[in-house]
Amino acid sequence: MDSSELKIPDYYIVTKEDGKEQIVKYYQKVVSNENENKYYGYYGIHGYHEVISLKKNIRELTEEERTLFSEKKYWSLPQEFYHSFPNY
């Protein structure tokens, strides 16, 4: 991602240190005590999980991912983080 600011709120892809990716809706930017920008967001289909990320771990959706998102094909987007499923 380039040096421009993230548009908040919006959807981005975050990458963990192990290389796993997840689509996340970021809703807030906070400047930490270390003077770093941290972005707060959440992900989940059946329940929500919060995430805090540094910008270096966030990328924009590709054109193909944007198309899948607009077609509501959420499971075709990166979904590699932990998900909780409803108990029926």
Position 4 pLDDT exceeds 90 = no
* Average pLDDT of span 3-26: 92
Q: Rounded to 5 degrees, what are φ and ψ at 20?
A: -70, 145
CATH of the domain at 70: 2.30.30
In a domain, 70, yes or no: yes
Number of residues that make up the chain: 88
- Cβ proximity of 1 and 57 under 8 Å: no
> Residues 6 or more apart from 19 whose CB is under 8 A from it?
none
Please check whether residue 2 lies inside any domain of the structure: no
pTM higher than 0.75: yes
The tally of domains found in the chain comes to 1
Torsion from C-alpha of 30, 31, 34, 37, nearest 10 degrees: 80
88 in any annotated domain: no
Give the structural domain span for 66: 10-76
3 assigned to some structural domain: no
pLDDT tens-digit series, residues 44-79: 877 789 999 999 999 999 999 999 999 999 889 998
Residue 87 has pLDDT above 70, yes or no: no
**Residue 56: inside a domain:** yes
